[in-house]
Chains A and B, each alone.
Chain A
């Protein structure tokens, strides 16, 4: 099963490679990984999406906890939480599809962040389903480039699953 794991880590040189090295060295999957500073600049937060059966996930969280620079490991999947991801999609529609692209962007509450004679770049934020949905719809219009941030997640306050 798929799990979204949040990690609080020391914001130090080499920490990212310790974490990615753990995953590659032990043959665990990483579907996405995102990193950023927290309010405390000495601490970074990472969100990792990984998959495996219960035993593997248990090992992953234990192995992460064991790393000296890891302060806290939270398996978000076990909590009620909000997940978001942002994507930037550059579409190069045929002339007759241009209006449809703009309409789709609006329906999905996307923003046009760049446009040229031949292309629009749309910014979309949402959960996985939303992103998959717009990608499916835009595909026939001609997606030229596609970048995504990887997921970030945060627990909802006061509710336990």
Chain B
């Protein structure tokens, strides 16, 4: 039977198991929207901005491991997806965007609402397509899902000219074979065995676990490795939840706002096992001074991640889970346990560092400390909530004070650092997990970047909770200005303790709004919010002077950290670093 391109499009999505599309209509995609009107298999979630649609698809993907799908119109609809694509690209998230395009005959003519979105999105997608003939459509869609989700995952965009969606052809569901794209899943056995012997010999090893562990679904294998070899684990921002944050071997996050003991352990280590990490500069600090005594083993599915930033002694290209299965087997069967004694000294040293400088903040009875809010959220949810964040201090405080024990419960824009990501991502996650508690921990700046998505949450009856840590500043910017620009707070004050009134904004959309000004109000507000089955905004008026500590100034070695200390001392340290 012949089908139109639009019909083939929906049939193909159904075959790929798509249940939800996040989208926004416009001229050239109205044909597809018309079919969605009475489609029983696929529901469209209408966001209030295309950026929101892509972040929602991203939140859906991160929280489920399945690809998230968005559908937008040509021109402005398509260009509005760019930030969402770039966000997903940097964090290796399988997001698929279908954009409408002007009819093929008009492409290149500056037609109404024409934008070269394939050209624009090329550097921020894993791959993209312009469909030129309806006959290629089903194959392209199949390839799209395969490319987005296999190897190192990433976003793919498919541009659909209007005439392609109306012309007809026979529907087929072809076999796949992309000769130029064959990801490597199995690690080189010899290299893995080299790694096993190095692990057995090392005296002060550290595991650095990243987003790749989450993407690979290798938490179980990672835990087995760490426990069997008694190696402490530090998790990058993207790796939080890949290893239990409450585990005695957990060092928390490393890097710029990482823990003292994670950074110390890396710097002192004689062996570092990077697993699904890309050694971002937020993690390594000054690259020449990073892990100076360590032999480095690096497991990554993408060869370009290896030796991009740091030297590597044993590179292993492959899927984390499959490599760890082999590694654990070799360790148990061929190498055998022989490290118990040496580990004792190392773990004792780490315990000392943990005691010397734990993560701290100064509690106050007068004014709400943001870390206190995060701690309370952790306490009340017992860690069993999907947590999204925006970008800035709110994100770092959450990373530090919420303990993630399981993967795919943590949605944050790490690589691009996209303000406005968290709220729509939380909406996408809530769609996928209607019965889970989903919370966006936000800053007053970031939340205003996609605040319109309140409407999406209300209309779809999504009980997403937003906890705004309101310091009426672009807090992270203000922190840098305080520390590095002589307290000249140039254009970073937002006055958002007055404009807007977040409680009223929430109410205007039909959500519930709460405000807490005193520390004693934090817990009651959170409890009430978590009880209500509705969208809730919580406006926590926090100590605007609060900073994120520890902090490694940009470009310094990661063990030269600033701590919460009297100001002069901090400044002295800063000078020493420069």
A residues near B (Cβ < 8 Å) are 9-10, 13-14, 17-18, 21, 25, 55, 58-59, 62-63, 65-66, 68-71
Contacts and interface: CB of A to CB of B under 8 A. Distances in A.
B202 to A, nearest CB: 25
B376 to A, nearest CB: 44
Interface in B124-139: 126-127, 130, 132
B118 to A, nearest CB: 7
Contacts, number: 35
Interface in B313-364: none
Interface in B118-162: 118-119, 122-123, 126-127, 130, 132, 147
Contacts of B308: 59
Nearest to B147: A68
B304 A13 contact: no
A71 B147 contact: no
Given A25-B123, A58-B307, A70 B118 contact: no
B123 A69 contact: no
A58 B305 CA distance: 11
A59 B306 CA distance: 9
Interface stretch (B173-181, B225-233, B411-419): B173-181
Given A70-B180, A71-B180, A55 B307 contact: yes
B302 interface: yes
Interface in B179-235: 179-181
Contacts of B130: 13-14
B303 interface: yes
A17 B147 CA distance: 19
A25 B123 CA distance: 8
Interface residues of B, number: 18
A68 B126 CA distance: 8
Interface of B: 118-119, 122-123, 126-127, 130, 132, 147, 178-181, 302-304, 307-308
Contacts of B178: 68
A9 B179 CA distance: 11
Given A10-B180, A62-B303, A68 B127 contact: yes
5 contacts: A10-B180, A14-B130, A62-B304, A68-B126, A68-B127
Contacts of B122: 14, 17-18, 21
A69 B180 contact: yes
Contacts of B303: 62, 65-66
Given A13-B130, A18-B122, A59 B180 contact: no
A14 B122 CA distance: 10
A48 B433 CA distance: 49
A13 B133 CA distance: 13
A25 B89 CA distance: 15
A14 B132 CA distance: 13
Contacts of B123: 21, 25
Given A18-B122, A68-B147, A59 B304 contact: yes
Contact of B118 (A14, A63, A68): A14
A66 B150 CA distance: 13
Contact of B304 (A9, A17, A66, A71): A66
A13 B116 CA distance: 14
A63 B307 contact: no
Nearest to B181: A68
B180 A63 contact: no
A17 B181 CA distance: 18
Contact of B179 (A55, A59, A65, A71): A71
Given A9-B180, A68-B181, 18 more contacts: A13-B130, A14-B118, A14-B122, A17-B119, A18-B122, A21-B122, A25-B123, A58-B307, A59-B304, A62-B303, A62-B304, A65-B303, A66-B303, A66-B304, A68-B126, A68-B127, A70-B180, A71-B179
A79 B308 CA distance: 24
Contacts of A18: 122
B560 to A, nearest CB: 26
A66 B179 contact: no
Nearest to B179: A71
B180 A68 contact: yes
B107 to A, nearest CB: 11
Contacts of A9: 180
Residue from the set B122, B130, B147, B180 with the largest chain A CB neighbour count within 10 Å: B180
A63 B304 contact: yes
B111 to A, nearest CB: 19
Contacts of B118: 14
A58 B308 CA distance: 9
Nearest to B180: A71
A62 B180 CA distance: 14
Contacts of B304: 59, 62-63, 66
A154 to B, nearest CB: 21
A133 B127 CA distance: 44
A65 B132 CA distance: 26
A125 to B, nearest CB: 31
A66 B92 CA distance: 14
